[in-house]
Amino acid sequence: HLIAQKADGALRDALSIFDLIVTFSADGSITYANTVSNLHILDYDTYFEVTDHLVNQKRSEALLLFDEVLKNGFDGHEFIVGLSNHFRNLMMCKDNATATLLDVSPSVQTKYAEQANTASLSFLMNGLNLLSRCDFEYKTHKNQRLHVEIALMKLAHLNAAIKLAQVEGSHEKK
């Protein structure tokens, strides 16, 4: 599935990628781990982990994970685009009718459904808005790392802000 995604549906590209992975695997076996490593892509687990940190307001853990991603040679923009796609997939899982729009394996779709239950729709919608803005403004910022870190900090405090707004809204009604 990873090879198909990386090839964007092009059969010739998929075969070339497959040959590359077989060539670079030590014993000729193809595993998820060596496919991710050889294709140099951020896997789903990275996005599931950072989202867990953000939903649970663990700012430091989210920032440390982002630092690890950068140290592994990935681009901050690639990370933000992937996290945006992850939030989109979580939103799709909030409704069974749109869950079919996910282009992932059944096991990954199950993980999305489980994580979608831990995040409110408000968190996902506001988070996706923050991530879209971060993506749009990324290229124009002089300190791109700081730009992504600020977005992650805002996301880590988003649940608290949503709860505060709900409390203030209920007080205004009284």
Burial of residue 144, with CB atoms counted within 10 A of its CB: 0-12 exposed, 13-18 middle, 19 or more buried: middle
* pLDDT confidence tier of residue 36, bands split at 50, 70 and 90: low
Nearest to 82 by CA among 49, 55, 37: 49
Looking at residue 8, its pLDDT comes to 64
Of 39, 32, 44, nearest in space to 6 by CA = 39
Task: Tell me the residue range of the domain where 11 lies.
Answer: 1-41
Considering the domain architecture, whether residues 64 and 147 belong to the same structural domain is answered as: yes
Quick one: 53 and 135 in the same domain? yes
Are both 4 and 49 inside the same structural domain? no
**pLDDT over 70 at 30, yes or no:** yes
Same-domain status, 32 and 65: no
Do 23 and 106 belong together in one domain? no
Q: What is the mean pLDDT of the chain?
A: 87
| CB count in 10 Å sphere of residue 79 | 21
Q: Is 65 in the same domain as 144?
A: yes
Segment among 117-121, 154-158, 160-164 with least mean pLDDT = 160-164
- Sign of the C-alpha dihedral computed for residues 133, 138, 144 and 145 taken in this order: positive
> Which helix (DSSP H) or strand (DSSP E) does residue 90 occupy?
helix 76-93
Q: Do residue 110 and residue 153 come from a single domain?
A: yes
Cα–Cα distances in angstroms (integers) from residue 146 to residues 18, 87, 116, in the given order: 37, 21, 28
Q: Are residues 104 and 156 in the same domain?
A: yes
pLDDT digits (tens, 9 = 90+) for 41-81: 788 999 999 999 999 999 999 999 999 999 999 999 999 99
Using 50, 70 and 90 to split pLDDT, how confident is the model at 29?
confident
Residues 66 and 29 in one domain: no
Contact 75, 147 (CB under 8 A): no
Q: CATH number of the domain that 49 lies in?
A: 1.20.272.10
Q: What is the residue type of 162?
A: I
- Candidate ranges 38-52, 89-103, 160-174; pick with highest mean pLDDT: 89-103
pLDDT grade, residue 19 (50/70/90)? confident
Give start and end residues of each alpha helix (H) in the chain.
2-6, 11-24, 32-39, 44-55, 59-71, 76-93, 96-99, 106-116, 121-137, 144-156, 158-173
Q: What is the pLDDT of residues 146-159, one digit of tens each?
A: 999 999 999 999 99
- On whether both 26 and 52 belong to a single domain, the answer is no
Q: Is the pLDDT of residue 10 over 60?
A: yes
Total of domains in the chain? 2
| 78 shares a domain with 31 | no
64 with 37, same domain: the answer is no
